[in-house]
Amino acid sequence: MVSAWGGYVFITNLIPLHVFVLVCMGRFSPRVYVSYCTWYALGTLASMQIPFVGFLPIRSSEHMSALGVFGLLQLVGFVEFVRSGVPSKQFATLLKGFVLAVFTLSFGGLVLLTVSGVIAPWTGRFYSLWDTGYAKIHIPIIASVSEHQPTAWPAYFFDLNLLIWLFPAGVYLCFLKLADEQVFVVVYAILASYFSGVMVRLMLTLTPIVCVAAALALSNILDTYLTFKSPEEPATAATVTDGASNGATKKAAKQEELRSMRQPLVGIYASFSKISVVGAMTTYLLIFVLHCTWVTSNAYSSPSVVLASRMPDGSQHIIDDYREAYQWLRQNTKEDAKIMSWWDYGYQIGGMADRPTLVDNNTWNNTHIATVGKAMSSREEVSYPIMRQHEVDYVLVVFGGLLGYSGDDINKFLWMVRIAEGIWPDEVKERDFFTERGEYRVDDGATQTMKDSLMYKMSYYNYNSLFPPGQAQDRVRGVKMPEVGPVLNTVEEAFTSENWIIRIYKVKDLDNVGRDHASAASFDKGNKKKKTLKKRGPKVLRVE
């Protein structure tokens, strides 16, 4: 798991928490001691063999809880050993002093190692789990990821469906019999329920325990209604033998019969009740299977690079602009051509176009991503030196204004601005992209900073040519675009996909005579205009 998923930290904190709760409940045992120490020792050594993990298990704050519980178990085991040979009064005094000394030394050592840099502090992603507003204020790159947004309530019903009401019932059943296994289920359920509400991606950690708890509840229901047992006859009064009965004996027998009639028969014995409940549960499970199949095929089986839509007649229409653009890059650019795009598309470009990118989905370098954000949000005069400094050959942007694709770069643009502002607050300011009324606009009412940004120009360059004069429309933002579109000087259009979702621009080289690109573009434009308007002499017909 460590080699395949960075979320293994959730497991390495969940198991120590379970053991800690067991110790607090007084359930320390040799079985708990041996199992946890074996898991921690072997698991830590094995995870350290993975190159990108290295010494993180012993040098990062995310792993300190596992180490702390490991040390706690050694302490508790030692205390249990001493208890057997020391009188109770002396043991209590010794225990208090020993625990206080060990806790003080451990806490002081942890603080000292953290301050000195030996142990790395908590990363921004883990801080944002406890303080939900931390990432948006301090690390915008974390808040910009759609997977890190809070989970909407409909997502629980969409993903869990029938299990949404079986889950709490299963957790309640665990409370009725709190064995060590049930304690783990309760701890896991509480922890995963909280985390799944903080980040939508952590719904993945909730689903296993939902299945376990729902299975417990469902199993309990079926055990109750599938038990075929006949009701026992009530105990009859003592029979009168050999005619020796008298009035007192008959009276006692009658009271016993009345008492038996007053006691209800506990259990479900009617066949109709059993068939109704079992049939209803079977129907629910069949519907749940159908729902899961539909969700899997429609929501979780479509690759992000292939978009699907429905035609008016109900048939499916495939929008393949991403693969079209990546194929163009693969066939028409040099193998070492560097592509600059937002980090969302880094892995796709590297894998499908086989071209290096300036940034990719491995968002460990916040400054590098902020550099791309600064280039996209600045004027061409500022962006061009950045691109030249990083040897960028092509720039790729995603634009959905023509087709109505809302996941384009214009909708992500403010995150680029915020991330860049975090590194260069004096050069990039988010408020410059909002109007005086606080509106984020791309039409005639957009701010001049917005219109001058490289992202805006590359998105709407030549967009007016698709519409009649004065009728250009952005279908995502639902606004009418200016009659005069933007002009590009430092980059030139190299490729635009069929539906205008992917646009690729080639970065121009430096001018041969040392002019800036704006002057060179104006000069070239003037020459073309002169050639067009140049008057020609009268044509002379050839006469033989």
Closest listed residue to residue 204, CA positions, set 8, 407, 66, 2: 8
With tokens 């007084």, the residue in question is 26
Q: What is the pTM of this model?
A: 0.76
pLDDT value of position 463: 94
Q: How far is CA 338 from the centre of its chain?
A: 29
**In terms of C-beta density within 10 A (0-12 exposed, 13-18 middle, 19 or more buried), how is residue 216 classed?**
buried
Which neighbouring-strand residues pair with 506? 394, 492
Residues with Cβ within 8 Å of residue 48, at least 6 apart in sequence:
54, 55, 57, 58
CATH architecture of 320-525: 3-Layer(aba) Sandwich (3.40)
What would the two tokens of residue 242 be? 């050999």
Closest listed residue to residue 43, CA positions, set 18, 15, 23: 15
Between CA 528 and CA 536, with CA 533 as vertex, the angle to 5 degrees is: 120
pLDDT value of position 542: 52
pLDDT value of position 242: 47
- Residue extents of the structural domains in the chain: 1-121, 152-231+254-301, 320-525
pLDDT value of position 409: 95
Q: How far is CA 371 from the centre of its chain?
A: 24
Residues with Cβ within 8 Å of residue 50, at least 6 apart in sequence:
2, 3
CB 191 within 8 A of CB 14: yes
Q: How far is CA 400 from the centre of its chain?
A: 24
Q: How far apart are CA 208 and CA 196, in angstroms?
A: 12
Query: Rg of the Cα trace of the chain?
Result: 36
Which neighbouring-strand residues pair with 339? 357, 394
> 3-class DSSP state for residue 189?
helix
What would the two tokens of residue 278 be? 């079992």
**What is the mean pLDDT, run by run of 10 residues, along the chain of 544 residues?**
78 91 89 93 90 80 85 83 69 68 75 68 64 69 78 91 92 91 94 90 92 94 78 51 53 56 60 87 93 88 81 85 95 95 94 94 83 95 94 96 92 94 92 94 94 96 92 93 91 94 94 78 67 50 50
Cα–Cα distances (Å) from 465 to 223, 441, 483, in that order, read: 70, 21, 10
Residues with Cβ within 8 Å of residue 342, at least 6 apart in sequence:
359, 372, 376, 397, 398, 409, 412, 416
With tokens 């009401």, the residue in question is 165
Q: How far apart are CA 333 and CA 505, in angstroms?
A: 12
| 144 phi, psi to nearest 5 deg | -75, -20
Residues with Cβ within 8 Å of residue 412, at least 6 apart in sequence:
144, 342, 344
pLDDT value of position 234: 54
